[in-house]
């Protein structure tokens, strides 16, 4: 197997000059082909917001004129890696905040620990937050003691926490990656779901099947979910529903459309009266978006927001702040390891027709 080493441009130039000099002075010697590939240093579009801890899955919100980011907290627990993501073995949440993009980032410390969630078993995955009823709500997926992902909710009087978890999961909830969206009429909706390790393939008609399997190439792709929240923000006001994601011809995606179909990491925002549902395609590593006319959809595929980054996963959020739009995401620049990620942010731009300009993770 070839070994690949990354150098900065200066080192590469010095190395190249040295090799040329040696070749010129030893032209009569036979040399073997070097199996080491010399490549230029990657030039990242943006830099990690913090480096004191590993962070991922950033859900960003503007509260009280300040940006608050609710990420996963990656830790090296030594859990063996597998396809179900057991090595993403998060134990707590840290909340980050900043007055401006590019400004100083504050780590508010541990906002919620798994040991303080009575019903939790393992793996605190990607959270989100909302403000209503004069308090802040932290929504999170965690496996219960039967190893099934459920959604929990915790509350605080401060956006930076600490948060106190409810004693039971949200009734009727399942899978992972909750994002909570406030519509213009004041209603709140939770979008969620993740296939593979996120267990969404085990749920049909809101019933759990432990033997549920991933879809085959020609089968309809698994759809994300939506549920309207009660006014107390601690439960669903009705049944969980599927969200239709359509191609430009109005057809549902099949599993073989893996560069466009939903995998995980739902997010919802509005722009010029339209609803933008965005998500990760997972194993093809795109952040895509689809546009609709109401919170329930259907949503028609519109393109790629962010192309693949360093690392297997990606998970994003989109906010407007002081007249500009920003995309939060993660990669593995700091560690190079799939399960030790770092949160980033870059500006997001729209075209006149409302389409989003695709972002490249590298310059």
pLDDT at 109: 97
Per-block mean pLDDT, blocks of 10 residues, the chain (363 long):
31 34 35 38 92 98 98 91 87 98 97 98 97 98 98 98 98 98 97 97 97 97 98 97 98 98 98 98 98 98 98 97 98 96 98 98 95
Q: What is residue 220's DSSP assignment?
A: B
Cα 121 to Cα 118, 124, 147, distances in angstroms:
9, 9, 7
| SS3 track for 147-193 | CCEEEEEEEECCCCCCCEECCCCCCCCCCCCCEEEECCCCCEEEEEC
Q: Which of 128, 264, 310, 331 is catalytic?
A: 264
Return the CA Rg of the chain: 22
Q: Is 116 a catalytic residue?
A: no
Give the C-alpha separation, 57 to 74, whole Å.
10
Cβ-contact 2, 38 below 8 angstroms: no
pLDDT at 129: 98
Q: Is 57 a catalytic residue?
A: yes
Q: Which residues contact 62 (CB under 8 A, 6 or more apart)?
A: 68, 319, 320, 321
Give the C-alpha separation, 300 to 193, whole Å.
18
Sheet strands (E) in 29-175: 36-40, 54-63, 66-74, 92-98, 105-113, 120-124, 128-132, 135-144, 149-156, 164-165
Q: Which of 57, 128, 177, 331 is catalytic?
A: 57
pLDDT at 78: 85
Cβ-contact 287, 279 below 8 angstroms: yes
pTM value? 0.88
Domains of the chain plus CATH, in order, are: 1-41 (no CATH), 44-348 (2.115.10.20)
Token pair 């890696």 in the structure block, residue = 81
């Amino acid at each position: 197997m070839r070994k690949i080493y990354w150098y900065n441009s200066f080192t590469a130039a010095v190395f190249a000059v040295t090799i040329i000099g040696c070749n010129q002075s030893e032209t009569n010697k036979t040399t073997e082909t070097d199996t080491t590939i010399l490549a230029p240093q990657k030039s990242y579009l943006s830099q990690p917001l913090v480096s004191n801890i590993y962070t991922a899955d950033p859900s960003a919100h503007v509260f009280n004129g300040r940006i608050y980011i609710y990420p996963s907290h990656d830790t090296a627990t030594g859990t063996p890696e597998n396809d179900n993501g057991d090595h993403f073995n998060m134990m707590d949440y840290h909340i980050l905040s900043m007055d401006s993009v590019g400004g100083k980032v504050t780590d508010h410390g541990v906002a919620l620990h798994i040991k303080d969630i009575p019903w939790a078993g393992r793996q605190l995955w990607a959270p989100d937050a909302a403000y209503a009823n004069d308090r802040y709500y932290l929504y999170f997926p965690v496996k219960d003691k039967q190893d099934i992902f459920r959604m929990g909710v915790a509350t605080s009087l401060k956006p930076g926490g600490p948060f106190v978890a409810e004693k039971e999961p949200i009734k009727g909830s399942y899978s992972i990656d909750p994002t909570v969206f406030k519509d213009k009429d004041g209603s709140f909706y939770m979008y969620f779901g993740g296939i593979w390790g996120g267990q969404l393939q085990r749920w049909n008609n809101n019933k759990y099947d432990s033997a549920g399997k991933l879809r085959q190439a020609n089968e309809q792709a698994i759809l994300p979910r939506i549920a309207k929240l009660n006014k107390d923000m601690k439960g669903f006001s009705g049944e969980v529903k599927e969200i239709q994601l359509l191609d430009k011809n109005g057809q549902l995606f099949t599993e073989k459309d893996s560069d466009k179909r939903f995998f995980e990491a739902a997010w919802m925002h509005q722009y010029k009266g339209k609803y933008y549902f965005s998500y990760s395609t997972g194993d093809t590593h795109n952040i895509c978006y689809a546009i609709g006319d109401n919170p329930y959809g259907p949503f028609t595929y519109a393109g790629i927001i962010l192309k693949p980054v360093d690392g297997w996963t990606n998970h994003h959020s989109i906010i407007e702040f002081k007249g500009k739009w920003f995309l939060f995401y993660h990669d593995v620049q700091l560690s190079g390891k799939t399960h030790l990620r770092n949160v980033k942010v870059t500006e997001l731009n729209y075209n006149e027709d409302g389409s989003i300009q695709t972002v490249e993770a590298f310059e």
